[in-house]
């Protein structure tokens, strides 16, 4: 029996494939779209049974090529560009594709674990898995919210596991291909390595400069949640996946810079010191983000914990430090 991972060459998908390998799983069908060929590098050190383009996979699924040959689908593939304006593309790629997979899994008793997003909450202040708190600010968030609604209709009469995970701000290895959509931790690292300073947004949403707060979660924790639910097929539902604690962009910048300083043998600096030395600067919010920017997110983990997931999540200081150390080891590796 095969395990399918969609978005397998992407950030979370490739980390998931690597983690499945560590569990002894190699009968993995990796599904993705390599129009951006840079993503192939994420699969180089992974063991998979086959690779299929996302359109070929859905066509072969409909033709019955994989009947009785798939035990689980980890659906991580999606367009995650929050500034994408083509709503037809977004709904076709994120919503309709997901519906097709969901229906196939239910018709064939296949576990379906999928990526949702904290973007469904929009500019709200309550981050609990309830329809009343969902008000997406962009079509990406809307596509995710629409699919979650479809799942809610199916859950009461499901024939196999359905677990949706609303990822908050994920950071960690294997995201360098994402460009401007990569995590702020990666952007801060690259900027500091290049310019010896990082730039944060000036105050917005009632928050002072750099004090906008997000729930930043390490990709290892995201993968751990997926695998834990996969091992417990009796668990179904829609769950937040974050740390449960909001951290400021200033805190991420300080953690990133101090990890770089530590690697260079330099002592850590406080936020005030880094601002005074010009290592942290603030820039105006881009016009394209005004009214579409989440200034605060913080996952309510009550439902995740009640389902039985008990592992601790990495806080920003430890998670970002570990991430920067991995980035430094790659940048210093011999060619």
Catalogue the active-site residues.
140, 178
DSSP secondary structure letter of residue 30: E
* The two three-digit tokens of residue 331, written as one number: 């940048």
Bridge partners of residue 216, in order along the sequence: 169
| CA pair distance 84, 6, nearest whole angstrom | 20
Q: Are 165 and 114 in contact (CB under 8 A)?
A: yes
> How many of the other CB atoms lie within 10 Å of CB of 209?
17
Q: CA separation (Å) from 88 to 37, 56, 91? A: 24, 20, 5
Query: Which residue in the block uniquely carries the two structure tokens 């009461």?
Result: 156
| CA pair distance 66, 70, nearest whole angstrom | 7
| CA pair distance 262, 274, nearest whole angstrom | 14
Q: CA separation (Å) from 255 to 48, 49, 195, 279? A: 35, 39, 17, 13
Q: Which residues contact 183 (CB under 8 A, 6 or more apart)?
A: 169, 170, 171, 172, 175, 216
* The two three-digit tokens of residue 297, written as one number: 């997110």
């Amino acid at each position: 029996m095969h395990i399918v991972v969609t978005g397998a060459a992407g950030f979370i998908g490739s980390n998931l494939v690597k983690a499945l390998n560590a569990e002894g799983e190699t009968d993995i069908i990796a599904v993705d779209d390599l129009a951006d060929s840079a993503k192939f590098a994420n699969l180089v050190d992974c063991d998979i049974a086959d690779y299929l383009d996302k359109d070929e996979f859905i066509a072969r699924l409909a033709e019955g090529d994989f009947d009785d040959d798939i035990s689980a689908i980890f659906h991580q593939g999606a367009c995650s560009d929050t500034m994408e304006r083509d709503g037809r593309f977004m709904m076709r790629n994120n919503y309709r594709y997901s519906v097709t997979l969901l229906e196939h899994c239910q018709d064939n008793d296949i576990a379906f674990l999928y990526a949702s997003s904290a973007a469904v909450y929009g500019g709200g202040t309550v981050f609990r898995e309830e329809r009343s708190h969902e008000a997406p600010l962009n079509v990406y968030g809307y596509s995710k919210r629409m699919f979650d609604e479809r799942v809610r209709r199916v859950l009461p009469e499901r024939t196999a596991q359905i677990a949706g995970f609303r990822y908050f701000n994920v950071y960690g290895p294997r995201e360098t291909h994402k460009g401007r959509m990569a995590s702020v931790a990666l952007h801060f690292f690259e900027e500091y390595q290049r310019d010896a300073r990082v730039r944060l947004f000036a105050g917005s949403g009632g928050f002072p400069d750099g004090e906008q707060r997000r729930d930043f979660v390490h990709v290892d924790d995201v993968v751990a949640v997926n695998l834990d639910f996969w091992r417990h097929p009796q668990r179904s539902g829609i769950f937040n996946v974050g740390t449960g604690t909001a951290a400021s962009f200033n805190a991420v910048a300080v953690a990133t810079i101090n990890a770089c300083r530590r690697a260079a043998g330099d002592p850590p600096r406080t936020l005030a010191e880094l601002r005074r030395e010009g290592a942290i600067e603030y820039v105006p919010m881009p016009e394209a983000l005004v009214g579409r920017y989440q200034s605060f997110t913080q996952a309510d983990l009550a439902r995740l914990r009640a389902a039985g997931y008990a592992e601790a999540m990495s806080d920003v200081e430890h998670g970002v430090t570990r991430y920067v150390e991995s980035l430094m080891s790659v940048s210093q590796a011999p060619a």
